[in-house]
A and B are shown apart, each in its own frame.
Chain A
């Protein structure tokens, strides 16, 4: 036994005695002893296969050579990994591997980082005895991004096993038999959001990235580690640049976040950065729009800001920063808006949860109830509420799937639709679309009464069995006016659980709540918008936002705000109510939009200030699991300024002082103010980042508990109006037609079709056919979409992708509506 109570075994490897943990494979044991055993088919993520036969070793008392990758170290084993016999075996296996291999390293994308190349260098012969015709099979596309070169494939089946064992999509299979075996996608019926990882785990250059193919050699690339900005998981990635261009994005090892996996969006949707459509600032509404110099743009902006604040007061300036900026940007933004410009009308984030109704409870939950990704993965029960994990937090979903293997942990889905047949949780419960609050009420009653029958019986039983529960709630709860009340309902469920545990004398355990927010730094936006919550001495804080997103837009409509400055936000697509945004943009005198890519909102701007893209950015993000991580700027060449640089120049033009443009200095300022990160400086943030450990003391916890108990939820079941009998469910998809996808080459294949999904029975009841064009209308607006029947859609609901530029669902929604009722009719 070692210090941690693990059983140890001692064996001899090449005459060296080595002690390893029981259950260690011989390859790992040999590595501990300092001997590297070559292997192709084995991979730390995958079950041993023993197919490539590269790792053959001699074990005493065994008649044949054994594969080290599949043999578990045992006490007293005597193993030889370096001898003439083993050398001959390795040479023989490499000869077999290279028989049909084209040896085209000079033109192969994998050259320089290829296992076959490396092992041939180390163990192979210099000449081949093979004079026959090589097996040739034409290349194929396995998915729109995976180019398969069959000639190079050594059939280690790592890719097949990845899609079987890790993602479970069964995207790839082996077709035919023997020497004719080849990897196939069997017609491409399956889809897999993680298929890009097969590029890395391929030990040769068989699977290559269609996006990166023939664009650079491994050794010419400059590698910069950073944090992916495509969703809130915050995977560690490496940007590979060459001659000032971003060539590819690959996952970086980070055991606490992505463990070396990334999703296909994170891997492939980076091309926009190399070819930004905005080269210069743009002035004028569309039609009379023209490119202007930065000098002119800054002058115009400064003049307008000056004019408005002189004429209508500083509060006539409205500023909103979206949730994709860095924490340093946010703090500077607050300071500039409040102290330099003097307005109270500014907001950070996308305003999904309106905390103003009950700030103490809601912010306490958001700040103190969250768990880190490792904590979520170790929970007895992971409950995804209104959240399609794989679409919203893809790599977390993948890691949960891995964590659930061979453990008693459980994943339960609680959602407004049936499981989609891809990535199913072990248990799944449905609440009536739009009616989560009523379901929450029933669940609380079931917990309190101890009844385990009925609709929620199974869920309650599972909740009661688990000690630690991680609740992840998603877009179905958040993209509503009543997001705050959904969170309160979850808090009440949590409290009911604690009540039940205390009554039964059971240990309290831990129940965490994490919202799955859409953007990369949505958590950072939440923190920085409510920074005062974390600061001991509030007097030191420069500014405090009083506005909400909705409030700001309404003020604009009312004419109180004359100039709107939007920073990295596209409210026309992301805010719940399109018509409110439209009216606000219409009402303001001047609209300045500062963003990286053209979108619906930049189209409407009077002045567009383009800024540099993500690969050029430095700063920090806070991910879904409250991990503060550092972004590094790659050497991508961009002549566009960062947000901080634009603001600083604007301040100088306005004659209102200046602001630091160094994220490092700003971060150090924040760290001085916020106790939770006071031990860090920008330079000392570890590569793996640091989980923000916000702790609530017992007194605070008691106060919050009291507050939660006091909150009365209006849980009355809504009634469906007769003329609008269907409930709209807006769904977030990982691959959506967002600007980053639109402007990245070859990404169009991944974006889902623009359809409204309905239960086939509802469709036939309406007399509408699959694929028919239909009008979906609510009391507030209408959109036109093709219909598609899907059995997983709940009856009485319509599920629509919430990011369809051609048919934005937020046309149908009003900020005043709790639930959006719609009706569907055939289009003319």
Chain B
């Protein structure tokens, strides 16, 4: 029986642990105290590097390495942007942290700021997280009042500020450079790299951008030591991961597991198995942008390298499970609609390609598909993938290509039999 390894969610179940006093009573802010009083900034970076902490936003880039890219001799100011613009369909882990454990994230932010020498922390919060942003604002106020934020934190001489900034509701702003342009007050379009944000980010100053979950893991690494964290997970994917299970399971929700556990165990042991005892058809291992894996691959180890070897990505850890009654063509249409709607419109392939794919899906679902449409979709995927400005384009093709490869017969069934999908709601016109 698979057990959870709770780190970010360690206080899950403790009543009111979003409150500072409860958080402190459970060892909160001890890591910050330890960091600023006993450790030099470089030691904090080394500790996080040694722990093997990977970025939890999707790309899995080592967090300590990212911190060390910031030029040490820069006169400043330097910024930390905490990426709380969680918009990936199927992902709701950051939302849980913001709403239930805001202090652990804030503590992580301050430790990161201390390690890199950052004078201002921006929490870029997704516009629709009404409750989340209130919780984080309230928590920040509490932290300010207690002297964890502001001038001369805990008497260490280190000072940093925290501002909560809310987006206007755009998935693209979760991309780090688009997040920065949006934070600066511009249109949420991605920026050219290089220069990379670590050297020229927000307002052309060095900026570290980390995911909420990544930062929320940092205090426990400082508390328990790098060796503890490095001992968890697999050889290449060290540590733990929050998994957001949704779809046809008995108990959808957030779970936190050691990296490398079998995916099937997460579904069966933690999420209570398939809903109504139905058969597993396939799953998105890491959110809607990751290619679908079939039921046959459900025993894949839930870590970055194993999922990649299976032909998908761990992404943000959003495990979307669907059963054998699922209409995958319709599912692909829903997700393609999301990408069409959310494309920022900057680069041509993404702007035009996503809409084209959606139009083809809509035609197929209306019974007007042509057999060549399936290959046409694959061809559009080829033209879109790795050619768009930012990884959004690559994300948009994942579901299309993988569902065609795995369930081509369902597409052809729609087309050959002029099957019509009966809509409960009319889609937004375009």
Contact = CB atoms under 8 A, between A and B. Distances in A.
Nearest to B362: A132
B349 A92 contact: yes
Contact of B386 (A52, A65, A132): A65
B386 to A, nearest CB: 4
B359 A154 contact: no
A166 interface: no
Contacts of A92: 349, 382-383, 387
B349 A93 contact: yes
Contacts of B386: 63-65
B348 A53 contact: yes
B388 interface: yes
Contacts of B192: 48-50, 70
Contact of B387 (A49, A56, A179): A56
A476 to B, nearest CB: 36
Interface stretch (A95-103, A357-365, A616-624): A95-103
A129 interface: yes
Contacts of B340: 178-179
B419 interface: no
B387 A93 contact: yes
Given A53-B388, A64-B386, A92-B383, A177 B170 contact: yes
Contacts of A56: 387
B187 A154 contact: no
Nearest to A47: B192
Interface in B309-353: 340-349, 351-353
Contacts of A177: 170, 341-345
B67 to A, nearest CB: 24
Contacts of B359: 132-133
Nearest to A72: B194
Interface in A165-184: 173-174, 176-181
Contacts of A178: 340-345, 351, 354-355
A131 B346 CA distance: 24
B360 interface: yes
A551 B344 CA distance: 68
A221 to B, nearest CB: 31
A130 interface: yes
A23 to B, nearest CB: 13
Interface string A36-61: 00000000000011111100100000
Nearest to A65: B387
B356 interface: yes
A51 B191 CA distance: 10
Interface in B372-430: 376, 379, 382-383, 386-389, 430
A179 B376 contact: no
Interface in A125-158: 129-130, 132-133, 135, 154-155
Contact of A179 (B187, B355, B379): B355
A123 to B, nearest CB: 14
A89 interface: yes
B66 interface: no
A155 B348 contact: yes
A96 B363 CA distance: 19
Given A48-B192, A65-B387, A179-B430, A99 B356 contact: yes
Contacts of B363: 132
Given A96-B352, A97-B352, A132-B360, A50 B389 contact: yes
A586 B73 CA distance: 78
Contacts of A50: 192, 347, 389
Contacts of B347: 50-53
Contacts of A173: 187
A50 B350 CA distance: 13
Nearest to A176: B345
Contacts of A93: 348-349, 383, 387
A96 B344 CA distance: 16
B346 A51 contact: yes
Nearest to B188: A177
B356 A130 contact: yes
Interface in B248-282: none
B126 to A, nearest CB: 16
A96 B382 CA distance: 13
Contacts of B354: 178-179
Contact of A51 (B343, B376, B389): B389
Contacts of B351: 96, 155, 178-179, 181
Contacts of A180: 345, 430
B388 A179 contact: no
Contacts of A53: 347-349, 387-389
A353 B343 CA distance: 60
A161 to B, nearest CB: 12
Contact of B345 (A49, A100, A179): A179
Nearest to A92: B383
Contacts of B348: 51-53, 93, 96-97, 154-155
Contacts of B356: 96, 99, 130, 132
Contacts of B352: 96-97, 99-100, 179
Best-buried of B341, B345, B382, B386 by chain A (most CB within 10 Å):
B345
A238 to B, nearest CB: 31
A386 B264 CA distance: 78
B353 A96 contact: yes
Contacts of B353: 96
B342 A95 contact: no
Interface string A20-44: 0000000000000000000000000
Contacts of A51: 346-348, 389
A130 B342 CA distance: 22
A176 B353 CA distance: 17
A95 B355 contact: no
Interface string B354-370: 11100110010000000
Nearest to A56: B387
A96 B383 contact: yes
Nearest to B394: A64
Contacts of A89: 383, 387
Nearest to A177: B345
A92 B345 CA distance: 17
A356 to B, nearest CB: 56
B174 to A, nearest CB: 14
A178 B349 CA distance: 11
Interface string B169-193: 0100000000000000001000010
B226 to A, nearest CB: 30
Contacts of B187: 173-174
Interface in A52-95: 52-53, 56, 63-65, 70, 89, 92-93, 95
A558 to B, nearest CB: 66
A409 B214 CA distance: 45
A177 B178 CA distance: 13
Nearest to B382: A92
A92 B350 CA distance: 12
A127 to B, nearest CB: 13
Nearest to A48: B192
A56 B385 CA distance: 13
A51 B187 CA distance: 14
A155 B355 CA distance: 15
Contacts of A133: 359
A89 B192 CA distance: 20
Contacts of A174: 187, 345
Interface of B: 170, 187, 192, 340-349, 351-356, 359-360, 363, 376, 379, 382-383, 386-389, 430
12 contacts: A51-B348, A70-B192, A92-B383, A93-B348, A93-B383, A97-B348, A155-B351, A177-B343, A177-B344, A178-B340, A179-B345, A179-B355
Given A95-B383, A176-B345, A178-B355, 11 more contacts: A49-B192, A51-B389, A63-B386, A96-B348, A100-B352, A132-B363, A177-B170, A178-B340, A178-B342, A178-B344, A178-B345
9 nearest A-B pairs in the assembled complex, by CB-CB distance:
A181-B345, A92-B383, A132-B359, A178-B343, A179-B355, A96-B352, A64-B386, A178-B345, A51-B347
